[in-house]
Chains A and B, each alone.
Chain A
Amino acid sequence: MQVRRLAAWVALPLSAALALAACGSGGGSGSSNPDGVISIGIGEPQHLLPGNTHETEGAQVMAALYSPLVNFDEAGKPFEVAAESITSTDNKVWTIKLKDGKFHNGEAVDADSFINSWNFTAYGPNAQDNSFFFDKFQGWADLNPSDANVVPTQKTLSGLKKIDDKTIEVTLSAPFTEFRSLLGYTAFYPLPKAAFQDPAATPLVLKTDFEQAPIGNGAFKIKGNWQHDQQIEVERFADFTGEKPKVGGILFRIYQNQGAQYADLLANNLDVVKTIPTESLATVQGDLGDRFRQSPSSSFQFLAFPTFDARFSKPEVRKAISMAINREEIVQQVFQGSQKAAYSFVSPVVAGYRDNTCGVNCEFKPAEAKAAYQAAGGPSSLNITYNADGGHKQWVDATCNQLKANLGVECVGTPEAKFADLLQKVEDKAEVGMFRLGWSFDYPSMENYLGPLYTTDGSSNYYGYSNPAFDTLVKEGAAAPTPDDSIKKYQEAEDILVQDMPVLPLRFGQNNYGFSTKVQNVELDLFSRVDLNKIEAVS
């Protein structure tokens, strides 16, 4: 008892101090210091290699070191950066013309830099994380035989051809209108000859310590080596020909947990924290004032209905469950507003997003839901399976409680230790009930929210949804004459999902980030990376 009372005494002055601090902070714009060095908090990257960096921590550092072929504007549409032009007459054979550019070691960026990098990534035995980004390229299947222990007969992508030093011709296995959007990600960065033991060899072999000090074509070059678990420092690359950044250098400081990052931000030892920890969200307004920002991210959380479970075979049952969930309440109560309620099947960050496509099916109408549920003969007990290692228990239980109260059914959350265990159960057609899934895009396109998740042979369609009309629309969208035509087809496809409700959209992710008084113009891009071209140091 004694101890608790003491804790209460300590907590009171603390909150008073927080309230006081809030008065002092303002986000006024000071004068920019073009040589200032700013610090950004990250976690330890898994890799720093175009073909192998597939998480935001590494991608953030790679964005400083490399310049992409395309980047994306506010509307999520691609525009050329390192590429001069990316054109095609049939959406199948694409011609990429490159701008002049230099690697940090002085090598020129030419067609070979891209072709080598892409061939290295796509070659199956190299086991690169981003290999699947090339599955639309002609010849990818030859580099990735279905029996993984067989050495592929081909060593390079047959769909890649060098026309001249500045021109690459890419042949896809099928037309893909939004090919340009694909090229914005880390997987498509070039590599210099210096990255390989022998740049003329096939297959290419990477130098073993290349990742410790990657040589890129970007606005910043690495200073020294990657200091594991400590920091990665980059400085402005004088010979960079693209858009000049507004800071002199960036110190990526490596943290294990977000709590420590946030503590250093409050102590003014760190300039940017990309993810404010959930437990600090309640006090963040007081701590940071308008230096706390939110922006949409690409993640999408939903509940899936396995098609092998006959209890959920009627769309009316699925719709009634959807209408019995109060998304807004869960977002506010469980997530402290750190995520947004989802009323569409594609994320707001991609071109073609429409607000509230789900319409009445996602509206919270408990009375109508109950009536419809009973009329359709919905099951009297429900369960929601989730993986216990991802912090999902709270919202799953909250959802279950809503279903209990609003539909008058039994509902329990069923934890599985790991996500892989959950998938295994689904694959074995075990009794999982509804189950949770999450998705983040690989490239910013509606197609990436529709194709992998709902087409009959989609790579992440774990629930077995299949609708030929939907498949056709997605396929037509991919081959439409222009990206705008593609979007129209995709939107029609999304409307089919609203009719069928194979999954329940629940929430869209948000970036919840904060920054110190020493920086301004801090924005996060589509891939949840700090936009290094915009950020400025305040002197």
Chain B
Amino acid sequence: MFRYLVRRFLQMILVFVATTFIVFALMYATGGDPIQALAGERPVSEQQRAQLTKLYGLDQPFLVRYWNYLTGLLRLDFGKALNGRDVSEIIASALPVTAKLALIAIITTIVVGVVAGIIAGVRRGSIFDNSTLVLTLIVIGIPIVTLAPLAQYIFGIKLGWFPATAAGREDDIYALLLPGIILGALSVATAMRLTRASFNENLRSDYVRTARSKGLPGRRVIGVHVLRNSLIPIITFLGIELGALMAGAIVTESVFNVNGIGFNLARALRTEDAPLVVGLVSVLVIIFLVANLIVDLLYAVLDPRIRYE
């Protein structure tokens, strides 16, 4: 187990360096002029250009800049965004908000998706099974760019059940509830389908027949034996989904003005704020790597046959 962890850790470092290098190269090689981008359509004075070039180290060769960036990261120094704020400060304020949002979304997915999937899996062909099938089809069919503003209009503006946006209210869980549920709704359908299929398959397997013939109560067969074995694909899905949610639900965060990672990433891309983009992506890479590691470790917990050496 320990050797496995060390090996995984070394791999993660390699992946991290490679991905940040690619993002760094892409952001700075697009040929845009970050200083002009900062000024919009106004002319930039030579004085300003000189000062900003020096401040952001744009006069240094690419590899030197990348090296400086990497060594800065070791000191948790993500550099300065083009608007003059520390990138680490922006990340520190955005990450908890996105984490809360992702948590609400995941809880929604588990509570609605997995539970409904289990019921549908156990009672295959029932009215419940068929009606949830249709419902999830509809939710999958509506793209988030429609779903989010629609929910905002109905529940935020017309009914007033939730705040219409989370602007300035990021500390208030209540304001994050609606965007979180909307975000979760997108993976509910997939989680449900996955759970249902996985349950179906396991219900027909030999060990279930054995357990039943031993006279175990149905609740125990389903609650312990089937559930545990059915969870592996779902955990994989949820783990990757959590990574994706942390990567910022750009659309949802924008519609509800949630000051999280996706919101900042969208703005950084729009304003060509390369230091901010690279900083945010670096954090996202770490989140993805850790989420993947946790998923892999959970396999061993769920399935005793899986052993890591």
Contacts and interface: CB of A to CB of B under 8 A. Distances in A.
A230 B168 contact: yes
Interface size class of B (residues with CB under 8 A): 35 or more
Contact of B141 (A2, A129, A260, A419): A2
B173 interface: no
B254 interface: yes
Nearest to A390: B41
Interface string B33-51: 1001101111101111111
A395 interface: no
A9 to B, nearest CB: 12
Contacts of B152: 263
A256 B257 contact: yes
B167 interface: yes
A124 B255 CA distance: 40
Interface in A406-464: 417-420, 438, 459-460
A7 interface: yes
Which of A2, A147, A229, A438 has most chain B Cβ within 10 Å? A229
B257 A255 contact: yes
Nearest to A43: B267
A122 B241 CA distance: 52
A438 B33 CA distance: 20
B41 A267 contact: no
B83 interface: yes
Interface of A: 2-3, 6-7, 10, 14, 17, 44, 46-47, 54-55, 124-129, 131-132, 144, 146-149, 227-231, 253-257, 259-261, 263-264, 266-267, 269, 417-420, 438, 459-460
A428 B195 CA distance: 61
A147 B50 CA distance: 9
A258 to B, nearest CB: 10
Contacts of A129: 39, 48
A253 B167 CA distance: 7
A3 B138 CA distance: 7
B293 interface: no
Which of B50, B165, B267 has most chain A Cβ within 10 Å? B165
A269 B163 contact: yes
A54 B42 contact: yes
B146 A148 contact: no
17 contacts: A2-B141, A124-B47, A144-B45, A146-B46, A148-B50, A149-B50, A229-B93, A230-B259, A256-B254, A256-B257, A256-B266, A260-B167, A260-B257, A263-B165, A264-B257, A266-B164, A418-B36
B47 to A, nearest CB: 4
A438 B40 CA distance: 11
Given A6-B138, A460-B43, A263 B157 contact: yes
A55 B41 CA distance: 12
B52 interface: yes
B168 A263 contact: no
Which of A17, A55, A259, A269 has most chain B Cβ within 10 Å? A269
Contacts of B149: 259, 263
B256 interface: yes
A129 B51 CA distance: 12
Given A256-B266, A259-B254, A263-B157, 15 more contacts: A46-B83, A128-B48, A147-B46, A148-B49, A227-B168, A228-B85, A253-B168, A256-B259, A256-B267, A260-B254, A260-B256, A266-B157, A267-B163, A269-B164, A438-B41
A10 B158 CA distance: 14
Interface in B162-204: 163-165, 167-168, 170
Nearest to B47: A124
B41 A419 contact: yes
Contacts of B160: 267
A375 to B, nearest CB: 36
Contacts of A231: 168
B156 interface: yes
Nearest to B36: A420
B62 interface: no
Contacts of B37: 418, 420
Interface string B217-257: 00000000000000000000000000000000000001111
Contacts of A260: 164-165, 167, 254-257
B24 interface: no
B156 A255 contact: no
Contacts of A3: 138, 141-142
Contacts of B266: 256
Contacts of A420: 32-33, 36-37
Contact of B257 (A14, A257, A438): A257
A229 B265 CA distance: 13
Contacts of A259: 149, 254-255
Contacts of A229: 93, 259, 263-264
A10 B47 CA distance: 56
A126 B47 CA distance: 8
Contact of A264 (B138, B158, B165, B259): B165
A300 B276 CA distance: 33
Which of B41, B45, B83, B167 has most chain A Cβ within 10 Å? B167
A47 B85 CA distance: 10
Contact of A14 (B153, B165, B167): B153
B90 to A, nearest CB: 8
